[in-house]
Amino acid sequence: MAIYYLKFAGELSNVTDLQPLDDQSNPYEYIFKVTCTSCHETHPKAVSINRFESYDIGDSKGKANFVFRCRMCKKESSANIDRTVAKYTVEDDSKLVPILQIDARGLDLSDFVAEGRFECKGLNSGTTFNEVDLSDGEWYDYDDKVSEEVSVTEIKWEISR
């Protein structure tokens, strides 16, 4: 078993409380490259893990958010999103902060792909921005309530144990 942390760093300009838009009605698909820890084969395609989905683990009574069988060695592995961590705030600016914890068994996680929507709030207005797309490594918008540009730039993702 390995505990992985997905960490985020970025420069927030006039926004705070950045987080994936992730609830029961609109789940976020966390996308990673995975490698089998038995034979060290890296799966050719990125896989997605949804914290609201649950699959049976073979030869067990347990369940996991993601169950994977290596096509090379046929070993089964699994992953569970244990918890989402606090929102990324303006006080965290430019620091690597864990935003997700994953319990992985039999696989290594690497190369997070930031596809999907994030949300944040205007720092001086409380305006909710829920169409934040970080897939290009930056995001810009305008907060009409206070007539100022808002952005998330200098984005960095890291996966650590």
pLDDT of 88-103, one tens digit each?
Answer: 999 999 999 999 999 9
Q: pTM of the predicted model, to two decimals? A: 0.91
Pairing verdict, β 15-20 and 30-36: unpaired
Number of structural domains in the chain: 1
**CA–CA separation, 10 vs 84, rounded Å?**
18
| Chain segment 105-136, per-residue pLDDT in tens | 999 999 999 999 999 999 999 999 999 999 99
Q: If we measure between CA atoms, which residue out of 66, 46, 36, 69 comes closest to residue 116?
A: 46
pLDDT reported for residue 85: 67
| Residues 6 or more apart in contact with residue 64 via CB below 8 angstroms | 54, 55, 57, 78, 79, 80, 105
Task: Domain of residue 148: give its range.
Answer: 2-160
The DSSP output letter for 58 is T
